[in-house]
Amino acid sequence: MSTEPVGAGRARALLLDYGGVLTEPVDRSFARFENRLGLPPGRSFEVLVAASRTKGGGPIGALERGEMALSEFEVLLRDLLDEAGHLVAAEIDLMEGLFEAMRPAGGLWELAAQVRAQGVRTGLLSNSWGFDVYPFERLELHFDDLVLSGEVGLRKPDPAIYRLAAQRLGVAPDACVFVDDLERNVEVASELGMAGVHHTGDDVATRSAVLAALLIDAV
């Protein structure tokens, strides 16, 4: 876990990613499902990344910006796996299987509640693969605003989506602490003046880094 310090003065807002931050690690969820299908660990993501090495992020970028329906994306993934020599039975729901473990988990939910109770604005900033995975009722209890890439037509690491998330919380980017499990997303946040915290799965370390950036004592 790495942290880039916020500028002078107390940060007034906390932005958290969803998958891999407020859930178990995404790759763990994928790997469990792939194992059941008899696929090599990480294979589904490998074929998607290979197909997305184009301007705009290919199919992943299109999905996350809301330009491609989840059903279309699932057909594409099935075709890519087929081309790579991995046949998946038609009755298997790939998206549901890959994300079945993407349920709320970990201690950063409590962190969001704690800092919000102390007057810190809280926001979710997530690259969305559809919307069914999000527990909206619970999120609305912990966050002042939710920015989902598929709704706003922008995706991390586009600087515009970070600025939008800060604006919707009523603060400047340099008044925000941002937590994400992908290092590149954290790097861009830091370049915009946010206090970037790279979450590597250690809730205790991430909590300590966030509280330090917010100048809030641990309780």
Q: In this structure, is residue 4 part of a structural domain?
A: no
Tell me whether residue 185 is exposed, middle or buried, using C-beta atoms within 10 angstroms of its C-beta: 0 to 12, 13 to 18, 19 or more. buried
- Name the residue among 60, 39, 40 with its Cα closest to residue 50: 60
The range of the structural domain enclosing residue 122 comes to 13-24+102-214
pLDDT for the residue numbered 92 = 87
Residue at which a domain ends, from 98, 124, 153: 98
Same domain, 65 and 171: no
CA 173/CA 15 separation, integer angstroms: 10
Same domain, 201 and 137: yes
pLDDT for the residue numbered 8 = 42
Residue at which a domain ends, from 98, 129, 150: 98
Same domain, 149 and 60: no
The CATH number that applies at residue 107 is 3.40.50.1000
CA 177/CA 190 separation, integer angstroms: 9
Q: Is 176 helix (H, G, I), strand (E, B) or coil?
A: strand
pLDDT for the residue numbered 218 = 60
pLDDT for the residue numbered 188 = 98
Same domain, 131 and 177: yes
pLDDT for the residue numbered 153 = 98
Residue at which a domain ends, from 98, 126, 143: 98
pLDDT for the residue numbered 184 = 96
Same domain, 37 and 143: no
Q: In this structure, is residue 157 part of a structural domain?
A: yes
pLDDT for the residue numbered 7 = 42
Same domain, 116 and 200: yes
User: What's the total number of domains in the chain?
Assistant: 2
What is the pTM assigned to this prediction?
Answer: 0.89
Q: In this structure, is residue 38 part of a structural domain?
A: yes
CA 205/CA 3 separation, integer angstroms: 10
List the pLDDT tens digit at each of the 219 positions of the chain: 554 444 445 679 999 999 999 999 888 888 888 888 888 888 888 888 888 888 889 999 999 999 999 999 999 989 989 998 988 888 888 888 888 768 899 999 999 999 999 999 999 999 999 999 999 999 999 999 999 999 999 999 999 999 999 999 999 999 999 999 999 999 999 999 999 999 999 999 999 999 999 987 665
Q: Find the Cα–Cα–Cα–Cα dihedral 199, 124, 103, 179, rounded to 10°.
A: 0
Q: In this structure, is residue 135 part of a structural domain?
A: yes
Q: In this structure, is residue 83 part of a structural domain?
A: yes
